Amino acid sequence: MHTVTSSSPPTGLDATLVDELRSLLPPSADTRHALAPFTGTPLPSIPQAHPETVAATAALARSAAPQWARRPVADRARIMLRFGRLLAEHSADLCTLMQWETGKARVHAAIEVHGVVSVALHYGRHGARYLRHRQAPGSIPRVVRAHIDYRPKGVVGVIAPWNYPLFLAVGDVIPALIAGNSVVSKADSQAPLTLLLALKLARQAGLPPEVWQVVAGPGAALGPALIDSVDYLCFTGSTATGRDIARRCAERLIGCSLELGGKNPMIVRADAAVDAAAVGAVQACFSNAGQMCIGIERIYVHDSAYERFVRAFVERTRALRVAADYSFDTDMGSLTSARQLDVTTRHVQDARRKGAKVLCGGLARPDLGPLFYEPTILTNVTPGMLVHSEETFGPVVSIYPVPDDATAIAEANTGRYGLSASVWTRDLAEGRSVAAQIIAGAVNINDGYLSAIASLDAPMGGMRDSGLGRRHGPEGILRYTEPQTVTTQRIPTPYPDRHRWLLVRALSSFARLTASFAQRFPRR
Ligand code: NAD
């Protein structure tokens, strides 16, 4: 057991709140703490669950699931709407906690709160519509009817990383609850308190305590126990961990959604509004200090716009205010962990050594805090460099000049990921044509990263090594359900197989006739 005196909470955060949040976890004599990125001082100690605790927690969630599932969907949605309102009301505390645990700038914490409130309001309002019973024509027209209902899976496990401990960790829980599941979340070890404050507010909104529970502890130890106890697993994190999770889920034949890594490209076409593209690039590359799965790490700029774009982008990047600060007066905060600082430093050093040019940034800033790194722009990056194709997940971007759209698209499609992309152009039709040729689950035209993930009625997720499944939209809630088909037959005829065979032959002939008629006289 580690006994560590944590640094006191930031001004404005009630110390008793931290104790109350810790008490929401299953008790354990084993505690661990992470370090506050702004200062390097210990964060509060967190009780660590063991695999047996995870199994017991999931069993409790399972016992509560049927009653929760029996409640009308409108009731469940109402609770989530109330939850959304409470999250908005407690925005200041959520932002402060999130900044303390992750070192992000306040503006990025506030955007995150806004994002999760929007998810709660969206699924609160539209969840019932997505889950609505539907009917389809059955095997014998007018005689058989198919009824489709979306039944909850049962218990859903949710594992999310530290970079968006509210938007990702809670945003994926909300639709699971509205669909009638109970949920067990494994909190990330860096930012459990943010998630626990959300849990407290959900219970305050009327959610029965057993229906959503949180455990904390190392992913490698608790992940397998969680997968073994649930009926579906929603994972957000690295591609390497995602593969392990997929293997374990496959063993149990349970479904999973995997929201994984990215090395997202931006294309600036010859006709782009260059200044706007530079502003968009600053947001897309340096928000959350670049620790963003949908952040841009590669920019392909048409030769004719290259110099203007680089000048505007570098100028705006140099103007960013980087600091450890709990006010809205900074534009970029700290990296969150020593691991992220290490990867970022390694990628830039490797690129520099192999001939890349650093246009701005390129250094750690221990004078600002132990994990700070400057927003960094590179050119002359070549395929042999780590930063060329590996995800940095830090404030580093490479710019490449390209002679035409075809080259930009081909370059954008290199590598193993396919999460998000951005295209800048004044011609929206051309922009959509370029987007259609990019291998990515989301493409933002004339925006760097945000508009697709903030369009909550539309699915969001990755192609290739960026994952499986989608969050948001109908896909984001239906993934937590089992569609059940019930057919009703108006004339209950237990006809012999011989007659059934004749009926099938007659229906097939009719289908063939209809198909050839449709082919000959297509509808205009
Ligand atoms: P990670 O895979 O190391 O950890 C993510 C979470 O999984 C953590 O909570 C961790 O405790 C847990 N975990 C670790 N090993 C596990 C195991 N064997 N079984 C179950 N759980 C386990 O990822 P990270 O490095 O902390 O996060 C950054 C990565 O996440 C980046 O690659 C980033 O692109 C990706 N990410 C993707 C999205 C998306 O929506 N596609 C969003 C945010 C981050």
Q: Which residue has the higher pLDDT, 100 or 14?
A: 100
In a domain, 46, yes or no: yes
Mean pLDDT of 398-406: 98
Q: Is the pLDDT of residue 116 over 70?
A: yes
Q: With 80 as the cut, is the pLDDT of residue 5 above it? A: no
- Angle CA 472–473–476, to nearest 5: 50
Q: What are the counts of helices (DSSP H) followed by strands (DSSP E) for the chain?
A: 19, 18
User: Does residue 293 carry a catalytic annotation?
Assistant: yes
pLDDT for position 486: 97
Same-domain status, 378 and 411:
yes
Residue 158, SS3 per DSSP: strand
Contact 323, 365 (CB under 8 A): no
28 lies in the same domain as 69: yes
How far apart are the C-alpha atoms of 187 and 165, rounded to whole Å? 8
Question: Is the pLDDT score of 403 beyond 60?
Answer: yes
pLDDT tens digits, residue range 236-249?
A: 999 999 999 999 99
249 part of the active site: no
SS3 for 202-222 is HHHCCCCHHHEEEEECCHHHH
Domain limits for position 226: 15-260+474-481
Mean pLDDT, to the nearest integer, of 5-23?
A: 86
Same domain, yes or no: 204 and 313:
no
Contact by Cβ (8 Å): 326, 99: yes
Average pLDDT on 98-110 reads 98
Q: 162 C-alpha to center of ligand 1: Å?
A: 8
DSSP E strand stretches across 361-508? 376-379, 396-402, 420-424, 442-445, 467-468, 481-489
Distance 161 CA to ligand 1 centre (A): 5
Cβ neighbors of 68 (< 8 A, separation 6 or more) are 76, 177, 180, 181, 182, 208, 211
86 contacts 201 by C-beta, under 8 angstroms: yes
Residue 10, domain member (yes or no): no
CA distance 185 to 343: 28
pLDDT at 492: 78
Q: Which of 101, 259, 374, 391 is catalytic?
A: 259
Return the ligand 1 atom nearest residue 240 CA.
2
pLDDT at 521 exceeding the cut of 90: no
Q: Which of 263, 291, 293 to mutate to test the pocket of ligand 1 (most atoms within 8 A of CB)?
A: 293
Instruction: Copy the structure tokens of residue 273.
Output: 């509004």
Mean pLDDT over residues 160-187, rounded? 98
> What is the structure's pLDDT at 323?
97
Q: Are residues 513 and 442 in the same domain?
A: no
- Of the listed ranges 128-142, 200-214, 253-267, the least confidently predicted one is 128-142
Among 185, 220, 191, 237, which Cα is nearest to 46's?
Answer: 191
CATH number for the domain that contains residue 347: 3.40.309.10
pLDDT at 178 over 70: yes
- Flag the least confident range among 18-27, 134-143, 327-336: 134-143
pLDDT at 75 over 50: yes
Name the residue of 116, 238, 479 whose CB sits within 8 Å of the most ligand 1 atoms, as the mutation to test its pocket: 238
Give the pLDDT score at 303.
Answer: 98
Q: What is the pLDDT of residue 407?
A: 98
Q: For the chain, first and last CA: distance in Å?
A: 73
Q: How far is the CA of 405 from the centre of ligand 1 (A)?
A: 34
CB of 44 closer than 8 Å to CB of 81:
no
Tell which residue, 295, 317, 323, 319, has the closest CA to residue 106: 323
Going by CA atoms, what residue is nearest to atom 13 of ligand 1?
A: 219
pTM of the model: 0.95
* Substitution site in 108, 159, 335, 475 for ligand 1 pocket (most atoms within 8 Å of beta carbon): 159
Do 84 and 32 fall within a single domain?
A: yes
Shortest-distance atom of ligand 1 to CA 339: 25
- Do 252 and 352 sit in the same domain of this protein? no
Q: Are residues 268 and 220 in the same domain?
A: no
- How many domains does one find in the chain? 3
Does residue 291 lie in a domain region? yes
Q: Does 284 share its domain with 394?
A: yes
pLDDT of 349 > 60? The answer is yes
Q: What contacts 342, CB < 8 A, 6 or more positions away?
A: none
Residue 216 lies in a domain: yes
User: What is the pLDDT, as a whole number, of residue 4?
Assistant: 43
In a domain? residue 83 = yes
Predicted pLDDT of residue 499: 81
In which region does residue 322 sit, left (phi positive, over 0), alpha (psi from -120 to 50) or beta (all else)?
beta
Q: Average of pLDDT values for 351-380?
A: 98
Rounded distance from Cα 94 to ligand 1 centre (Å) = 21
Is 492 a member of any domain? no
Is residue 523 exposed (0-12), middle (13-18) or buried (19+ Cβ within 10 Å)? exposed
Task: Give the distance (Å) from ligand 1 centre to CA of residue 238.
Answer: 4
Give the Cα-Cα-Cα angle 368, 370, 373 (nearest 5 degrees).
65
Please tell me whether residues 22 and 148 are part of one structural domain: yes
Tell me if 242 sits within 8 A of 235, measured CB to CB.
yes
Angle ∠(262,263,266) on CA atoms, nearest 5? 120
Does 396 lie in the same domain as 333?
yes
With contact defined as beta carbons under 8 Å apart, do 36 and 162 qualify?
A: no
What mean pLDDT, rounded, does the chain reach? 96
Whether the per-residue pLDDT at 183 is higher than 70: the answer is yes
pLDDT at position 375 over 80? yes
Phi/psi at 343 (5° precision): -65, -45
C-alpha Rg value of the chain to the nearest Å: 26
Question: Per-residue pLDDT for 176 more than 60?
Answer: yes
- 334, 187: one domain: no
Ligand 1 atom closest to Cα of 462?
A: 41
Instruction: Tell me: do 246 and 335 sit in the same domain.
Output: no
pLDDT at 106: 98
Catalytic residue among 112, 249, 293, 297: 293
3-state secondary structure 303-324: HHHHHHHHHHHHHHHHCCCECC
Closest-CA residue, ligand 1 atom 14, reads 219
Q: Tell me, in angstroms, the distance from the centre of ligand 1 to residue 224's CA.
A: 14
Q: Ligand 1 center to residue 465 CA distance, Å?
A: 13
Q: What's the rounded mean pLDDT across residues 374-400?
A: 98
User: Which pLDDT band holds residue 440 (cuts at 50, 70, 90)?
Assistant: very high
For residues 348-367, give the mean pLDDT.
Answer: 98
- Is residue 2 scored above 80 in pLDDT? no
pLDDT value at 159 more than 70 = yes
Q: Are 34 and 339 in contact (CB under 8 A)?
A: no
CB atoms within 10 A of CB 321: 10
Instruction: Write out the two tokens for 79.
Output: 């609770």
Structure tokens at 311: 């000048």
Nearest to 234 by CA among 166, 185, 192, 179: 185
Question: Rounded mean pLDDT of 72-76?
Answer: 98
Distance 313 CA to ligand 1 centre (A): 30
Confirm if 291 and 336 have CB atoms less than 8 A apart.
yes
E-state strands within 75-231 = 134-137, 144-152, 155-159, 182-187, 212-216
Residue 334 tokens read as 């700290």
**pLDDT at residue 495, rounded to an integer:** 72
Residue 494 has pLDDT above 70, yes or no: no
Question: Which residues, judged by CB distance below 6 Å to any ligand atom, belong to the binding site of ligand 1?
Answer: 159, 161-163, 168, 188, 219-220, 223, 236-238, 241, 244-245, 259-262, 293, 391, 393, 419, 462, 467
Closest residue by CA, ligand 1 atom 36: 237
CB 416 within 8 A of CB 398: no
Among protein residues, the one with the nearest Cα to ligand 1's atom 37 is: 260
Q: Relative to the CA of 190, which ligand 1 atom is closest? A: 9
Q: 350 in a domain, yes or no?
A: yes
Ligand 1 atom with least separation from CA of 419: 41
| Ligand 1 atom closest to residue 460's alpha carbon, by position in its atom list | 40
- Which atom of ligand 1 is nearest to 244's Cα? 18
Average pLDDT estimate for 342-367: 98
- The residue ranking higher by pLDDT, 226 or 502, is 226
Instruction: Look up residue 483 and give its DSSP letter.
Output: E
> Domain holding 219: CATH number?
3.40.605.10
Q: Is residue 412 part of a domain?
A: yes
What pLDDT score was predicted for residue 524?
Answer: 66
Q: What are phi and psi of 136, to 5 degrees?
A: -140, 155
